Amino acid sequence: MKLVITPRSAKSRKFPITLEFAGSPEEVRVEEVRAAIAKQFPQLYPDRQRLTVDKVALESGKTLSDYGLKDGDSVTFKDLGPQISWRTVFLIEYGGPLLIHPLVYYLPSVFYRETFEHSWMQTVTYWMVMLHFMKREYETVFVHRFSHGTMPFRNVFKNSAHYHLLSGLNLAYWVYGPWNAAGAKLAERSEALVYGCIALYIFGELSNFHTHVTLRNLRPVGTRVRKIPRGYGFDWVSCPNYFFESVSWLAVCILTMSWSAHLFFVVAVGQMYIWAIKKHKGYRKEFSDYPRGRKAMFPFVA
């Protein structure tokens, strides 16, 4: 069969092109079309391609007949630009705070022009942040299975800014400063408050890790299979991983009483809630038997 690849942009110098495949529309798969395009234009590797029919994106694993395509029909092509793997993006994002916090914490003479002894609150906060992002790096390498392999390279700077600036430099500078040092009134915390925050933080982190493992086990290696997640946390909301991460950062907010921690908390929770709503709607649309009583992110609320 023949398939015409037309450009989304009228300025394209490479397209349209006509591809020929040995097989019927019921036999030719989308990934074969991507491979054929990449063979003619090596710089347009499959992850860089977006193919659509009537604004519906073609997905790997499906055949051309799944989209109603017949011999001689057209598919629209868009170049997504240079790509970077989501795994690499996450490593870069979470690596920022892991570099920034030690620098600010251990080099006060550089950032504050003086040396001082850190308070108990500062030390506990430091290890909360470090352990959180070390866990995230571990999960990125050994736990997460990504449904989307890549993203546009240009987006890595925007995505990283959230972590490098808000949970990195801004949080570290204002929490580890001399105004919160040992002996400072602002740094005074009762043992009950500190240990309570530590307990809340551990609960949030371990619960978050548990939900990530649950999501990982839903998808066999090398597949993009989607199933309804069930079990701890998922009986309440569609995205308990976001809820439990919010609990962890709430502990940091209560412990530090810092506006910088509260700012990051509001921005992060707001963004996670937007993602949760999108995933919640996606689950309900994809699975007809999806539990109706579940909320998106906050148990019994929303």
The string of pLDDT tens digits covering residues 114-160 is: 999 999 999 999 999 999 999 999 999 999 877 667 888 888 888 89
What is the Cα–Cα distance from 216 to 186, expressed in whole angstroms? Answer: 42
**119 touches 187 (CB < 8 A):** yes
Cis peptide before 16 (omega within 30 of 0): yes
- Residue 236 neighbours by CB under 8 Å, 6+ apart: 243, 294, 295, 299, 300
127-132: Cβ within 8 A, 24+ apart: 128/198, 128/201, 128/248, 128/251, 128/252, 128/255, 129/97, 129/101, 129/167, 129/171, 129/172, 129/252, 130/98, 130/101, 130/102, 131/205, 132/205, 132/248
- What does residue 146 show for φ and ψ, rounded to 5 degrees? -90, 135
Stronger pLDDT, 199 or 82, i.e. the higher one: 199
- Out of 12-26, 56-70, 107-121, 215-229, pick the least confident: 215-229
* CA–CA separation, 293 and 50 (whole Å): 36
**pLDDT for 65 beyond 70:** yes
Residue 198 has pLDDT above 80, yes or no: yes
Q: How far apart are CA 158 and CA 75, in angstroms?
A: 31
Give the tokens for residue 167. 């949970």
* Average model confidence (pLDDT) across the chain: 93
Percent of the chain with pLDDT over 90: 77
Using an 8 Å Cβ cutoff, are 34 and 50 in contact? no
Go through the domains of the chain in sequence order and give each one's CATH number: 2-81 (3.10.20.90), 84-286 (no CATH)
Please state which of the ranges 194-203, 221-230, 270-279 shows the lowest mean pLDDT: 221-230
pLDDT at 222: 62
Cα–Cα distance measured from residue 75 to residue 57, given in angstroms and rounded to the nearest whole number: 10
Under 8 Å between Cβ of 4 and 18: yes
* Predicted pLDDT of residue 96: 96
Does position 191 have pLDDT exceeding 90, yes or no?
Answer: yes
Averaged pLDDT for residues 24-38: 92
Per-residue confidence (pLDDT) for residue 155, from 0 to 100: 83
The yes-or-no verdict on residue 98 having pLDDT over 90 is: yes
pLDDT on residue 151: 81
Please tell me the predicted confidence (pLDDT) of residue 137: 96
Residue 291 pLDDT exceeds 90? yes
Q: Reply yes or no on whether the pLDDT at 255 is more than 80.
A: yes
In this predicted structure, what is the pLDDT of residue 224?
Answer: 65
- Mode of pairing for the β-strands spanning 49-53 and 74-79: antiparallel
